[in-house]
Structure 1
């Protein structure tokens, strides 16, 4: 279960879309989350890892090293 507060303008747009299409607001909220969750994970996890590298808690590995480690050299 998830409850979210939306700005009134967004709530109005979502309601109008639901009314016009005969689908629920929940349907469209779910679709939006599913559509963008992968991108959000990529962005925030990459930002977190960058902070770890800058703080010296993580060491970057070059693409060349990864390819060699997994025997992916062409």
Structure 2
């Protein structure tokens, strides 16, 4: 998939320098950044979306006692 984006000139200069010094394409480093950071972004934004649903009452939650009971920790 082709994607187009604008970078801050300072970031673009840093990326250009890295690519020139290492002989790798800028797209290589952009892919590395995306792949390396996607887990963090998913974790943060999906958790944030879940918390928003909880605040709105659209997502159910269990307290610690209910969790222990549901997995038979409390007899």
Q: How many residues align structurally? A: 70
Aligned Cα RMSD in Å? 1.9
Structure 2 counterparts to residues 53-64 of structure 1, below 5 A: 53-62=54-63
**Where does structure 1 lack aligned partners over 5 or more consecutive residues?**
none
**Where does structure 2 lack aligned partners over 5 or more consecutive residues?**
none
Which stretches of structure 1, 4 residues or more, deviate above 2 A after TM superposition? 61-64
Please report the TM-score for the alignment, with normalisation by the length of structure 1: 0.84
- The structure with the largest alpha-carbon Rg is 2
Please report the TM-score for the alignment, with normalisation by the length of structure 2: 0.83
Residue 12 of structure 2 aligns with which residue?
A: 11
Structure 2 counterparts to residues 33-72 of structure 1, below 5 A: 33-62=34-63, 65=67, 68=71
